Amino acid sequence: MGVYIGSGIGGFDVIEREYKTLLEKGPAAYRRSSFRPPSSTSLRLRIHPDRSQGTEFGHRDRLHVERHSIGDSFKIIQRGDADAMICGGAEACITALSIGGFAAMRALSQHNGEPHKASRPWDAQRDGFVVGEGAGMLILEEMESAKRRGAADSGRGRRIRNERRRASYYQPRGGRRWRIPRDAAGGQGRCLEPNQIDYINAHGTSTEVGDKIETVAIKRTFCEHAYKLAVSSTKSMTGHLLGEPVGWRRALRAAIRDQIAPPTVNYEFPDPDCDLDYIPNRARPMKIDCALSNSFGFGGTNGCLIFKKFGTTDEHR
CA distances from 35 to 20, 23, 89, 126 (A): 17, 19, 19, 40
In this predicted structure, what is the pLDDT of residue 1? 80
Residue 254, in any domain of the structure: yes
Residue 89, in any domain of the structure: yes
Q: Is the pLDDT of residue 303 over 90?
A: no
Q: How far is 245 from 143, CA to CA, in rounded Å? A: 23
In this predicted structure, what is the pLDDT of residue 148? 76
Single-letter residue type at 177? R
Residue 315, in any domain of the structure: no
Q: What are 224-279's pLDDT values in tens digits?
A: 999 999 999 999 999 998 876 656 666 777 788 889 999 999 999 999 999 999 99
Task: Spell out a b/e string for 298-307, using b for 16 or more CB atoms within 10 Å of the CB, else e.
Answer: bebbbbbbbb
Q: How far is 195 from 185, CA to CA, in rounded Å? A: 11
Residue 314, in any domain of the structure: no
DSSP state of 116: G
Q: What are 43-87's pLDDT values in tens digits?
A: 444 444 444 444 444 434 333 445 578 888 888 888 888 888 888
Of 142, 183, 156, 1, residue with least CA distance to 71? 156
In this predicted structure, what is the pLDDT of residue 161? 41
Beta bridge partners of residue 150, listed in sequence order: none
Q: What are 146-204's pLDDT values in tens digits?
A: 777 776 555 544 444 433 333 333 444 444 444 555 555 555 445 578 888 999 999 99
Residue 316, in any domain of the structure: no
CATH number for the domain harbouring residue 224: 3.40.47.10
Please give the mean pLDDT across all residues of the chain. 76
| Structural domain total, the chain | 1
Q: Residue 90: which domain range?
A: 2-309
pTM listed for this prediction: 0.77
DSSP state of 81: S
The crossing angle, in degrees rounded to 10, of helices 12-25 and 96-104 is 110
